[in-house]
Amino acid sequence: MTRASLPASETVLRVKDLTKTFGRRTVVDGVSFDVRRGEMFGFLGPNGSGKTTTIRMALGIIRPDAGSIGILGSPPERSVLRAVGYLPEERGLPRKLRVLDALRYLGRLKGLTVAEAEDRAIALLQQLDLDEHYKKRVEALSRGMTQLVQFAAAIIHAPEFIVLDEPFAGLDPLNVERMKEMLFERQRTGATIMFSTHIMSDVEELCDRVALIADGHLLLFGDLAEIKRQRGANAVLVQAPRVPEALTAGRPAVARSGVVEHVLEGGSTPEAVLRAYLDAGISVERFELALPTLNDIFIEEVSRARSIS
């Protein structure tokens, strides 16, 4: 599984100052970000943070109270949305419909002929290892299978831009891997992918750029590696035969697979850690700055935003 290299930085989705209020509650407040062509973009946020409402506004399902949306260079109109594939958060297909009928129906709505829709549906079902189930009614499928079928519906028309709202929620690890592989495949053929999630490991694995939203406010947006670099190292990883006593005086260092993690606290710096090893005459085989995980950043940012509000 490999990430595709990013082509030109053309914008596929641009939202600017997007705001939406339901009753007295502002669920999205002045959110701005953009998604570039060919990238895999992670849209993060805790539950109820406004991710789904933002996606719905971006796709023209609901209208924003303020702000602007540009999707594939136009407002979110039907003609443009034909080139978009969408997997909603709450999943479901008509229960009485057969799997193939449901895919054919949704494919035809995206402009495919009956034959095209059927051929692509069968190919996708084979890829998802669901080809034995295409004659079954949707109600006979498990929740995970239904989710995969709906994923197939979202990409059946080979869209330029794929928007997935919590795509991996409820799937077993095998199907998560299968879906990720298919997303990479789509990305390699030029599709842009944006997905929302609150599972940080998925984002770290898949995404180049991210936006973090909480309580309707955008907290972070940009290149994931750059965001981590800006945060700076909060620990160093050292592989050496032993740990200098100077560094174990306060508390023992944690070692995993021969690698010791020294948390940088109380004014400690990476340079000071390295000097302690060299002063003790210990040869260092590996020395690495440990950048914060996305999970750390997520918790820190969301907690800070909530404590301020």
Partner 1 sequence: MRGPSPELRVIFAEEFRRQIRGFGFAFFTVLIPVLMLIAIPITPVVVDLVEGDDSEGVPVVTGAPLERIGYADPAGVLPVREPQAASRRYGDLAAGIEAVRQGEIDAFFVLPSSYIESGVVEHYRASGESRGRFWGNAAAEFAFRSFLTGELIAGQVEPSILARALHPADYRNFEIGADGAVAEAIPLAQEIGELLVPTLLAALLLIGVLSGSGALMRSVAEEKETRMIEMLVTSAAPLSIMSGKLLALGLAGLIQIAVWIAVATFTMPAIFDRIPNGGDLTISAGLLTTVSLSFVLGYFLFSVLALFIASVVSSSADAQKYTGLLSLLTALPIWLAGLFISQPDGAVAQILSYFPFTAPTTLMVRLGAGSDMSEGEIALALGITAGTALVLLWVASRVFRAGILLSGQRITGRNVWAALWHAQ
Residues in contact with partner 1 by CB under 8 A are 22, 56, 59-63, 78, 81-82, 84, 86, 88-97, 105-106, 108-111, 150, 153-154
Cα 185 to Cα 79: distance, rounded to the nearest angstrom? 25
Q: In angstroms, what is the minimal distance from the CB of 288 to partner 1?
A: 45
* First-residue to last-residue Cα distance in the chain: 41
Residue reference for tokens 């935003």: 305
Dihedral pair phi/psi, residue 64, rounded to 5°? -75, 155
CB nearer to partner 1: pick between 62 and 284: 62
CB nearer to partner 1: pick between 148 and 243: 148
CB nearer to partner 1: pick between 108 and 180: 108
CB nearer to partner 1: pick between 61 and 246: 61
CB nearer to partner 1: pick between 65 and 265: 65
Q: In angstroms, what is the minimal distance from the CB of 266 to partner 1?
A: 50
Residue type, 128: L
Rg (CA), the chain: 23
Cα 188 to Cα 190: distance, rounded to the nearest angstrom? 5
Q: In angstroms, what is the minimal distance from the CB of 91 to partner 1?
A: 7
DSSP string, 36-72: ETT-EEEEE--TTSSHHHHHHHHTTSS--SEEEEEET
Q: Is 308 exposed, middle or buried (CB count within 10 Å of its CB: 0-12, 13-18, 19+)?
A: exposed
Instruction: Name the nearest CA neighbour of 41 among 22, 23, 58, 62.
Output: 58
Q: In angstroms, what is the minimal distance from the CB of 78 to partner 1?
A: 6
Q: How many CB atoms lie within 10 A of CB 251?
A: 9
Residue reference for tokens 């051929």: 119
Q: In angstroms, what is the minimal distance from the CB of 93 to partner 1?
A: 6
CB nearer to partner 1: pick between 111 and 190: 111
Q: In angstroms, what is the minimal distance from the CB of 20 to partner 1?
A: 10
